[in-house]
Amino acid sequence: MRVFNFAAGPATLPEEVLEQVRAELTDWQGSGMSVMEVSHRSKAFMAAAQEAEASLRELLGVAANYKVLFLQGGATGQFSAIPMNLARADSTVDYLNTGTWSKKALAEAQRFTSRVNVAADEAASKYTTVPDPQALRLSSGAAYVHYTPNETIGGVEFPYVPDTGAVPLVADMSSTILSRPIDVARFGLIYAGAQKNIGPAGLVVVIVREDLIGKARPGTPAVWDYKSMADEGSMLNTPATFGWYFAGLVFRWLQRRGGLTAAAARNRAKAQLLYGAIDASTFYSNPVAAGCRSWMNVPFTLADPQLDRSFLDGARAAGLVNLEGHRSVGGMRASLYNAMPLTGVEALVAFMKEFERRHG
Protein backbone atom coordinates (compact mmCIF):
# COMPACT_ATOMS: atom_id res chain seq x y z
CA MET A 1 0.00 0.00 0.00
CA ARG A 2 1.32 3.45 -0.90
CA VAL A 3 1.23 5.82 2.07
CA PHE A 4 0.86 9.60 2.26
CA ASN A 5 4.42 10.67 3.02
CA PHE A 6 4.66 14.08 4.70
CA ALA A 7 8.47 14.05 4.98
CA ALA A 8 10.34 17.32 4.48
CA GLY A 9 13.00 15.71 2.30
CA PRO A 10 13.73 13.35 0.71
CA ALA A 11 10.03 13.73 0.09
CA THR A 12 7.09 12.19 -1.69
CA LEU A 13 7.36 11.97 -5.47
CA PRO A 14 4.51 11.95 -8.01
CA GLU A 15 3.12 8.42 -8.23
CA GLU A 16 2.52 8.83 -11.96
CA VAL A 17 6.21 9.59 -12.48
CA LEU A 18 7.30 6.67 -10.29
CA GLU A 19 5.12 4.38 -12.41
CA GLN A 20 6.65 5.71 -15.61
CA VAL A 21 10.16 5.20 -14.20
CA ARG A 22 9.24 1.66 -13.22
CA ALA A 23 7.84 0.94 -16.67
CA GLU A 24 10.99 2.05 -18.47
CA LEU A 25 13.52 1.07 -15.81
CA THR A 26 15.14 -1.95 -17.45
CA ASP A 27 14.77 -0.81 -21.05
CA TRP A 28 15.00 2.96 -21.43
CA GLN A 29 14.03 4.25 -24.87
CA GLY A 30 14.74 0.91 -26.53
CA SER A 31 18.36 0.89 -25.36
CA GLY A 32 18.01 -2.45 -23.57
CA MET A 33 19.46 -0.71 -20.51
CA SER A 34 18.20 1.46 -17.68
CA VAL A 35 18.82 5.18 -17.88
CA MET A 36 21.33 4.67 -15.05
CA GLU A 37 23.46 2.48 -17.29
CA VAL A 38 23.78 4.71 -20.35
CA SER A 39 26.55 7.21 -21.00
CA HIS A 40 25.79 10.78 -20.02
CA ARG A 41 27.33 11.69 -23.38
CA SER A 42 25.04 9.41 -25.40
CA LYS A 43 22.66 11.08 -27.83
CA ALA A 44 19.64 9.77 -25.96
CA PHE A 45 20.77 11.02 -22.56
CA MET A 46 21.90 14.40 -23.91
CA ALA A 47 18.45 14.81 -25.48
CA ALA A 48 16.69 13.90 -22.22
CA ALA A 49 18.94 16.29 -20.29
CA GLN A 50 18.25 19.14 -22.71
CA GLU A 51 14.54 18.45 -22.66
CA ALA A 52 14.55 18.58 -18.84
CA GLU A 53 16.23 21.98 -18.97
CA ALA A 54 13.79 23.24 -21.62
CA SER A 55 10.80 22.14 -19.50
CA LEU A 56 12.18 23.83 -16.40
CA ARG A 57 12.83 27.02 -18.37
CA GLU A 58 9.30 26.93 -19.71
CA LEU A 59 7.73 26.31 -16.29
CA LEU A 60 9.62 29.11 -14.55
CA GLY A 61 9.89 31.44 -17.53
CA VAL A 62 13.69 31.54 -17.37
CA ALA A 63 15.10 34.13 -19.81
CA ALA A 64 17.96 33.37 -22.19
CA ASN A 65 20.45 35.39 -20.12
CA TYR A 66 20.33 32.79 -17.33
CA LYS A 67 22.17 29.47 -17.29
CA VAL A 68 20.49 26.45 -15.76
CA LEU A 69 22.97 24.06 -14.13
CA PHE A 70 22.31 20.51 -12.89
CA LEU A 71 24.92 19.95 -10.21
CA GLN A 72 25.77 17.78 -7.19
CA GLY A 73 26.68 18.54 -3.58
CA GLY A 74 23.17 19.57 -2.58
CA ALA A 75 22.03 22.98 -1.46
CA THR A 76 24.75 22.77 1.17
CA GLY A 77 27.40 22.67 -1.56
CA GLN A 78 25.91 25.89 -2.89
CA PHE A 79 26.30 27.52 0.53
CA SER A 80 30.05 27.45 -0.32
CA ALA A 81 29.85 27.77 -4.11
CA ILE A 82 27.96 31.07 -3.84
CA PRO A 83 30.61 33.00 -1.90
CA MET A 84 33.39 31.32 -3.93
CA ASN A 85 31.81 32.45 -7.19
CA LEU A 86 30.22 35.77 -6.30
CA ALA A 87 32.41 37.28 -3.58
CA ARG A 88 36.07 38.01 -2.93
CA ALA A 89 37.71 37.45 0.46
CA ASP A 90 37.26 41.17 1.19
CA SER A 91 33.72 41.50 -0.19
CA THR A 92 30.77 42.37 2.01
CA VAL A 93 27.85 39.98 1.62
CA ASP A 94 24.37 40.40 3.12
CA TYR A 95 22.40 37.52 4.66
CA LEU A 96 18.85 37.57 5.98
CA ASN A 97 18.61 35.19 8.94
CA THR A 98 15.13 33.72 9.19
CA GLY A 99 15.88 30.29 10.60
CA THR A 100 17.88 27.10 10.44
CA TRP A 101 18.75 27.05 6.74
CA SER A 102 19.61 30.71 6.35
CA LYS A 103 21.76 30.41 9.46
CA LYS A 104 23.67 27.49 7.94
CA ALA A 105 24.14 29.37 4.69
CA LEU A 106 25.54 32.42 6.47
CA ALA A 107 27.81 30.33 8.70
CA GLU A 108 29.33 28.78 5.60
CA ALA A 109 29.80 32.20 3.97
CA GLN A 110 31.82 33.23 7.04
CA ARG A 111 34.44 30.70 5.96
CA PHE A 112 34.95 32.68 2.74
CA THR A 113 34.68 36.31 3.82
CA SER A 114 34.97 38.04 7.16
CA ARG A 115 32.38 40.58 6.06
CA VAL A 116 29.10 38.77 6.40
CA ASN A 117 26.50 41.37 7.31
CA VAL A 118 23.37 39.97 8.93
CA ALA A 119 20.87 42.29 7.27
CA ALA A 120 17.92 40.95 9.25
CA ASP A 121 17.59 38.49 12.12
CA GLU A 122 14.24 37.19 13.30
CA ALA A 123 15.62 35.73 16.55
CA ALA A 124 13.31 37.94 18.64
CA SER A 125 10.24 36.10 17.34
CA LYS A 126 12.01 32.71 17.61
CA TYR A 127 12.03 32.68 13.82
CA THR A 128 8.26 32.75 13.40
CA THR A 129 8.29 35.94 11.32
CA VAL A 130 9.98 37.44 8.28
CA PRO A 131 11.57 40.90 8.37
CA ASP A 132 9.60 43.94 7.34
CA PRO A 133 10.71 44.81 3.79
CA GLN A 134 11.52 48.37 4.92
CA ALA A 135 13.65 47.14 7.83
CA LEU A 136 16.36 45.28 5.93
CA ARG A 137 19.81 46.61 6.87
CA LEU A 138 21.39 46.12 3.46
CA SER A 139 25.02 47.16 2.95
CA SER A 140 25.90 49.51 0.16
CA GLY A 141 28.09 47.74 -2.37
CA ALA A 142 27.41 44.20 -1.14
CA ALA A 143 28.48 41.46 -3.55
CA TYR A 144 25.05 39.85 -3.12
CA VAL A 145 22.09 39.46 -0.75
CA HIS A 146 21.20 35.92 0.29
CA TYR A 147 17.89 34.77 1.71
CA THR A 148 15.77 31.66 2.19
CA PRO A 149 12.29 32.27 0.74
CA ASN A 150 10.92 29.22 2.56
CA GLU A 151 12.39 27.94 5.83
CA THR A 152 11.73 24.21 5.68
CA ILE A 153 12.08 23.60 9.43
CA GLY A 154 10.40 26.72 10.85
CA GLY A 155 7.64 26.73 8.22
CA VAL A 156 8.15 30.44 7.55
CA GLU A 157 7.85 31.86 4.07
CA PHE A 158 8.48 35.32 2.61
CA PRO A 159 5.31 36.83 1.13
CA TYR A 160 7.48 39.26 -0.86
CA VAL A 161 10.72 39.29 -2.84
CA PRO A 162 13.28 41.62 -1.22
CA ASP A 163 14.19 44.64 -3.33
CA THR A 164 17.98 44.75 -3.51
CA GLY A 165 18.32 47.25 -6.34
CA ALA A 166 21.38 46.51 -8.44
CA VAL A 167 22.82 44.05 -5.91
CA PRO A 168 22.25 40.43 -7.03
CA LEU A 169 19.61 38.62 -4.99
CA VAL A 170 20.46 34.98 -4.21
CA ALA A 171 17.68 32.63 -3.08
CA ASP A 172 17.78 29.16 -1.54
CA MET A 173 14.53 27.84 -3.01
CA SER A 174 15.11 24.22 -2.02
CA SER A 175 11.70 23.78 -0.42
CA THR A 176 9.60 26.18 -2.48
CA ILE A 177 10.78 26.05 -6.09
CA LEU A 178 7.98 25.13 -8.52
CA SER A 179 5.30 25.61 -5.86
CA ARG A 180 4.01 28.71 -7.69
CA PRO A 181 5.09 31.10 -10.46
CA ILE A 182 8.03 33.40 -9.70
CA ASP A 183 9.64 36.28 -11.56
CA VAL A 184 13.11 34.90 -12.19
CA ALA A 185 14.30 38.32 -13.41
CA ARG A 186 14.21 39.55 -9.79
CA PHE A 187 17.02 37.13 -8.90
CA GLY A 188 20.70 36.91 -9.68
CA LEU A 189 20.84 33.29 -8.62
CA ILE A 190 18.31 30.68 -7.54
CA TYR A 191 19.30 27.27 -6.23
CA ALA A 192 17.36 24.27 -5.01
CA GLY A 193 18.25 20.80 -3.81
CA ALA A 194 16.10 18.35 -5.76
CA GLN A 195 14.82 16.17 -2.94
CA LYS A 196 11.90 18.39 -1.93
CA ASN A 197 10.00 19.49 -5.00
CA ILE A 198 11.99 18.22 -7.99
CA GLY A 199 13.06 14.59 -7.71
CA PRO A 200 15.39 12.22 -5.89
CA ALA A 201 18.30 13.42 -3.74
CA GLY A 202 21.69 13.87 -5.36
CA LEU A 203 20.90 16.76 -7.68
CA VAL A 204 20.87 20.51 -7.13
CA VAL A 205 19.53 22.95 -9.71
CA VAL A 206 21.21 26.36 -10.05
CA ILE A 207 19.72 29.13 -12.18
CA VAL A 208 22.31 31.88 -12.50
CA ARG A 209 22.40 35.12 -14.46
CA GLU A 210 25.18 35.11 -17.04
CA ASP A 211 26.93 38.25 -15.80
CA LEU A 212 27.55 36.51 -12.46
CA ILE A 213 29.42 33.65 -14.11
CA GLY A 214 33.20 33.72 -14.66
CA LYS A 215 34.10 35.66 -11.52
CA ALA A 216 35.07 32.78 -9.21
CA ARG A 217 37.89 33.57 -6.83
CA PRO A 218 41.28 32.00 -7.57
CA GLY A 219 41.55 28.48 -6.20
CA THR A 220 37.87 27.63 -6.72
CA PRO A 221 37.67 23.92 -7.62
CA ALA A 222 36.39 23.39 -11.16
CA VAL A 223 33.32 21.44 -10.01
CA TRP A 224 32.27 24.45 -7.92
CA ASP A 225 33.04 27.04 -10.60
CA TYR A 226 29.85 28.10 -12.40
CA LYS A 227 31.88 28.99 -15.49
CA SER A 228 33.49 25.59 -15.97
CA MET A 229 30.18 23.89 -15.29
CA ALA A 230 28.22 26.22 -17.61
CA ASP A 231 30.82 25.83 -20.37
CA GLU A 232 30.52 22.04 -20.14
CA GLY A 233 26.71 21.93 -19.96
CA SER A 234 26.94 20.66 -16.34
CA MET A 235 28.97 17.71 -17.65
CA LEU A 236 32.46 18.68 -16.60
CA ASN A 237 32.28 15.42 -14.69
CA THR A 238 29.63 12.70 -14.70
CA PRO A 239 26.37 14.35 -13.62
CA ALA A 240 23.68 12.77 -11.44
CA THR A 241 22.12 11.13 -14.49
CA PHE A 242 19.21 9.35 -12.81
CA GLY A 243 18.19 12.45 -10.86
CA TRP A 244 18.41 14.63 -13.95
CA TYR A 245 16.26 12.23 -15.97
CA PHE A 246 13.76 11.96 -13.11
CA ALA A 247 13.59 15.73 -12.73
CA GLY A 248 12.75 16.00 -16.43
CA LEU A 249 9.79 13.66 -15.93
CA VAL A 250 8.60 15.70 -12.95
CA PHE A 251 8.83 18.93 -14.97
CA ARG A 252 6.75 17.37 -17.74
CA TRP A 253 4.24 16.09 -15.16
CA LEU A 254 3.85 19.67 -13.93
CA GLN A 255 3.44 20.97 -17.48
CA ARG A 256 0.71 18.40 -18.18
CA ARG A 257 -1.07 19.55 -15.02
CA GLY A 258 -1.26 23.18 -16.09
CA GLY A 259 2.14 24.56 -15.10
CA LEU A 260 2.88 26.63 -12.03
CA THR A 261 -0.32 28.70 -11.96
CA ALA A 262 -2.29 25.49 -11.53
CA ALA A 263 0.30 24.16 -9.05
CA ALA A 264 -0.08 27.33 -6.98
CA ALA A 265 -3.86 26.93 -6.82
CA ARG A 266 -3.50 23.31 -5.67
CA ASN A 267 -0.85 24.23 -3.11
CA ARG A 268 -2.84 27.14 -1.72
CA ALA A 269 -5.90 24.93 -1.32
CA LYS A 270 -3.91 22.22 0.49
CA ALA A 271 -2.28 24.73 2.85
CA GLN A 272 -5.58 26.51 3.58
CA LEU A 273 -7.24 23.23 4.42
CA LEU A 274 -4.56 22.28 6.96
CA TYR A 275 -4.09 25.74 8.53
CA GLY A 276 -7.88 26.10 8.67
CA ALA A 277 -8.15 22.87 10.65
CA ILE A 278 -5.33 23.90 13.00
CA ASP A 279 -6.79 27.36 13.60
CA ALA A 280 -10.29 26.01 14.17
CA SER A 281 -9.06 23.90 17.07
CA THR A 282 -7.58 24.69 20.46
CA PHE A 283 -5.93 21.27 20.49
CA TYR A 284 -3.51 22.00 17.62
CA SER A 285 -1.49 25.13 17.05
CA ASN A 286 0.98 26.62 14.57
CA PRO A 287 3.39 29.27 15.87
CA VAL A 288 4.07 31.15 12.63
CA ALA A 289 2.79 34.71 12.05
CA ALA A 290 -0.28 34.69 9.81
CA GLY A 291 1.25 36.63 6.91
CA CYS A 292 4.24 34.33 6.43
CA ARG A 293 3.02 30.78 6.89
CA SER A 294 4.60 28.33 4.51
CA TRP A 295 2.49 26.55 1.90
CA MET A 296 5.03 23.76 1.80
CA ASN A 297 5.98 22.96 5.40
CA VAL A 298 3.39 23.21 8.16
CA PRO A 299 4.71 22.71 11.70
CA PHE A 300 2.14 22.20 14.42
CA THR A 301 2.03 21.14 18.04
CA LEU A 302 -0.48 19.25 20.16
CA ALA A 303 -1.79 20.91 23.32
CA ASP A 304 -0.30 18.02 25.30
CA PRO A 305 3.10 16.87 23.99
CA GLN A 306 2.62 13.63 25.97
CA LEU A 307 0.23 12.67 23.19
CA ASP A 308 2.82 13.12 20.40
CA ARG A 309 3.81 9.45 20.30
CA SER A 310 0.26 8.25 20.21
CA PHE A 311 -0.58 10.80 17.48
CA LEU A 312 2.31 9.60 15.32
CA ASP A 313 1.50 5.92 15.87
CA GLY A 314 -2.15 6.47 15.01
CA ALA A 315 -1.25 8.48 11.94
CA ARG A 316 1.11 5.79 10.73
CA ALA A 317 -1.59 3.16 11.17
CA ALA A 318 -3.84 5.37 9.00
CA GLY A 319 -1.18 5.51 6.25
CA LEU A 320 0.03 9.02 7.14
CA VAL A 321 3.79 8.88 7.72
CA ASN A 322 6.76 11.09 8.58
CA LEU A 323 4.79 13.69 10.49
CA GLU A 324 7.32 14.15 13.27
CA GLY A 325 8.77 17.67 13.46
CA HIS A 326 12.47 18.28 12.86
CA ARG A 327 14.58 16.94 15.72
CA SER A 328 15.62 20.51 16.57
CA VAL A 329 12.06 21.73 17.20
CA GLY A 330 9.91 18.68 18.01
CA GLY A 331 6.15 18.65 17.57
CA MET A 332 4.76 17.77 14.15
CA ARG A 333 5.42 18.94 10.63
CA ALA A 334 3.46 18.15 7.50
CA SER A 335 5.24 18.91 4.23
CA LEU A 336 2.83 19.53 1.38
CA TYR A 337 5.03 19.59 -1.71
CA ASN A 338 3.64 19.41 -5.26
CA ALA A 339 3.50 15.62 -5.19
CA MET A 340 1.26 15.53 -2.09
CA PRO A 341 -2.31 15.24 -3.39
CA LEU A 342 -5.24 17.07 -1.81
CA THR A 343 -6.62 13.67 -0.77
CA GLY A 344 -3.52 13.24 1.44
CA VAL A 345 -4.23 16.50 3.26
CA GLU A 346 -7.92 15.60 3.57
CA ALA A 347 -6.94 12.28 5.13
CA LEU A 348 -4.59 14.07 7.54
CA VAL A 349 -7.23 16.60 8.59
CA ALA A 350 -9.80 13.82 9.11
CA PHE A 351 -7.29 11.93 11.26
CA MET A 352 -6.48 15.07 13.28
CA LYS A 353 -10.16 15.74 13.97
CA GLU A 354 -10.77 12.16 15.06
CA PHE A 355 -7.65 12.19 17.27
CA GLU A 356 -8.79 15.42 18.91
CA ARG A 357 -12.29 14.01 19.47
CA ARG A 358 -10.78 11.06 21.32
CA HIS A 359 -8.07 12.86 23.27
CA GLY A 360 -9.05 16.53 23.33
Interacting residues toward ligand PLP by CB under 6 A:
9, 74-76, 101, 148, 152, 172, 174-175, 193, 196
99/277 with CB nearer ligand PLP: 99
CB of 158 to ligand PLP, least distance (A): 12
168/202 with CB nearer ligand PLP: 202
CB of 317 to ligand PLP, least distance (A): 28
227 is catalytic: no
* Catalytic position from the list 28, 101, 224, 295: 101
Among 127, 194, 123, residue whose Cα is nearest residue 157:
127
45/244 with CB nearer ligand PLP: 244
* Catalytic position from the list 172, 225, 244, 295: 172
Among 305, 338, 318, residue whose Cα is nearest residue 199:
338
295 is catalytic: no
101 is catalytic: yes
Residue 214 CB contacts under 8 Å (≥ 6 apart), including other chains: 226, 227
CB 311 within 8 A of CB 302: yes
E strand or H helix at 313, and its extent? Answer: helix 308-317
The phi-psi region of residue 324 (left if phi > 0; otherwise alpha if psi is between -120 and 50; otherwise beta) is beta
CB of 115 to ligand PLP, least distance (A): 23
74/319 with CB nearer ligand PLP: 74
Query: Minimal CB distance to ligand PLP: which residue?
Result: 74
Coil vs helix vs strand at 315:
helix
CB of 346 to ligand PLP, least distance (A): 25
CB 283 within 8 A of CB 360: yes
Crossing angle for the helix pair 43-60 and 241-256, nearest 10 degrees? 40
CB of 148 to ligand PLP, least distance (A): 5
CA–CA distance, 214 with 228 (Å, rounded to integer): 8
Cβ-based burial of 165 (10 A; exposed 0-12, middle 13-18, buried ≥19):
exposed
42/72 with CB nearer ligand PLP: 72
* Catalytic position from the list 196, 225, 270, 295: 196
Report, as residue numbers or ranges, the catalytic residues: 101, 172, 196
